[in-house]
Amino acid sequence: MRFDRQAKFALFGAALALVLAGVGFRAAIAQLNIYLQKEPVPIREGLANIPSSLGPWRRVGEDQILSEAIVEELGTRQYLNRTFVRDARSESARSGAGPGETPRRDQKGTDAMIALHIAYYTGMIDAIPHVPERCWVAGGMVLVDGARIVPLTLDTSAWGTSKVPPNRATGRPYQTADAFDSVLRRFVPVHVPVGEFAIRAMEFQDEARPDQRMIGGYFFIANGRVTSSALDVRKLAFQRTDQYAYYTKVQFAMPARADDDRRWERFQEYTSEFLDELLPHLMRSLPDWPEVEARGVPGSAPTATTTDN
C-alpha cells in the first residue's frame, strides 16, 4: 500500500505540531512555576511519639495496630489510633473540688473518653479522604444527626507570631506554640497551621444499642493550612504553584448517652481542650510548612522564632 505524498506531509506535520506543543506546554508550565506532579514531604517524627499524657488526658490501653488489609484501604502507614480518657483528678482541680471531695464527672458518672485517629498522606493526592460519614456507615453504624460544623475554642494566649514570611497562599502570618522536646529537655516553638479550627461532626448509633451514641468528627491540616472539609483538602494541598504536598486527617470520636441533652456541648468542650494539648505535639511531627515553602532559596530556611503577641 502506498500513501499519497501530500498525506505523508500532513501526517508528518501533525506529529511535529504535537511534539512542539508538548515542548511548549512543558516550557510554559516551568516558566509559570506550576507543578502538576507533587513531591512528597517526609514526616518529621512518627505519630506514635505524641505523648501518652496530654494535660488532663491520658492514654488507656495500647495504640491500635491495623491489619495489612485495613492499612492498604487506609492508604498510608503513617497513622495513630489511640484512646484517651480525662483524668478525674484534673477535672476535680478544674471544677474547684477540694481534697476528699467528689470530682465533677460526666453524666452517669463516667469520665470523658476520646478516640483519636490521625492519618498522614503526602505526594500525589488523588482521592477523597476516608471520613466517618462513609466509613462508619459502611461498617454498620446509623447516621442519626449531622453534619454540623463545630467551632473549636483554643487557648491562644501563649501563642506567638512567627518572624518567618507569611503563608504564601493566604498572606496570613504564621503563629507558634510551644512543644516540649524530650531530647533537648526544653520547650521549642512550632508553627501552627493557618485558618479557623473547626470540626465537621456527626452523630451515629449502633442499632444493637439504641441508648448509646457516638459523636465523630474531623478536620484536616494541609500544606500549612486547616479545613474541616474533605473536598477542600484538594484545594489546600494541591495549589498549582506548590512543589510539595501533604495532608493530615485528625479525627475524634466520643461516646455519649442518647438521653444526655448536653452531649454536643460536651463534645465541643472536650475536643477543644484536647486539641489545645495535642496541637503543638502534632505540629512537631508534621512538616514545618514555612520551611518547605522556603526550599530552593539558599539561606532562607526559616526557624520558628517568635515575637510576643
Highest mean pLDDT among 36-50, 204-218, 263-277: 263-277
User: pLDDT by residue (tens digit) across 171-184?
Assistant: 999 999 999 887 78
Q: How far apart are CA 287 and CA 304, in angstroms?
A: 12
State whether 107 and 158 are in the same domain: yes
State whether 28 and 42 are in the same domain: no
State whether 110 and 21 are in the same domain: no
State whether 272 and 232 are in the same domain: yes
**Res 169: pLDDT:** 87
98 vs 78, higher pLDDT = 78
How many domains, the chain?
Answer: 2
State whether 98 and 220 are in the same domain: yes
Residue 135 to residues 8, 90, 132, 171: CA-CA distances in angstroms? Answer: 56, 34, 5, 35
**Res 32: pLDDT:** 40
State whether 125 and 271 are in the same domain: yes
Which of 50, 48, 78 is CA-nearest to residue 278?
Answer: 50
State whether 230 and 99 are in the same domain: yes
User: pLDDT by residue (tens digit) across 239-297?
Assistant: 666 688 899 999 999 999 999 999 999 999 999 999 999 999 999 999 999 999 887 44
In this predicted structure, the answer to whether residue 201 has a pLDDT above a threshold of 90 is yes
Question: Which residues fall within 8 angstroms of residue 37, CB to CB, at 6 or more apart?
Answer: 124
State whether 5 and 101 are in the same domain: no
State whether 88 and 17 are in the same domain: no
State whether 182 and 99 are in the same domain: yes
pTM across the whole model:
0.78
**35 falls in which pLDDT band (50, 70, 90)?**
very low
State whether 185 and 123 are in the same domain: yes
280 vs 29, higher pLDDT = 280
The torsion region of residue 92 among left (phi > 0), alpha (psi -120 to 50) and beta comes to alpha
Q: Average pLDDT of the chain?
A: 79
Residue 122 · residue 41 · CB < 8 Å: yes
Residue count of the chain, please give it: 309
Three cell numbers at 25?
A: 506546554
Residue 190 · residue 159 · CB < 8 Å: no
Q: Dump the DSSP string for the chain.
A: ----HHHHHHHHHHHHHHHHHHHHHHHHHHHTT--SSPBP---SS-GGGS-SEETTEEE-SPPPPPPHHHHHHHT-S-EEEEEEEE-HHHHHHHHT--TTSPPP-SGGG---EEEEEEEEEES---SPPP-HHHHHHHTT-EEEEEEEEEE-----TT-EEESSPPPTTT-PPPEEEEEEETTTTEEEEEEEPBS--EEEEEEEE-TT-TTEEEEEEEEEEETTEEES-TTHHHHHHT-TT-SB-EEEEEEEEEEEETT-TTHHHHHHHHHHHHHHHHHHHHHHHS--HHHHHTTTSTT------EE--
In this predicted structure, the answer to whether residue 139 has a pLDDT above a threshold of 90 is no
**Res 210: pLDDT:** 87
**100 falls in which pLDDT band (50, 70, 90)?**
very low
**94 falls in which pLDDT band (50, 70, 90)?**
very low
Q: Give residue 10's domain range.
A: 1-32
State whether 24 and 74 are in the same domain: no
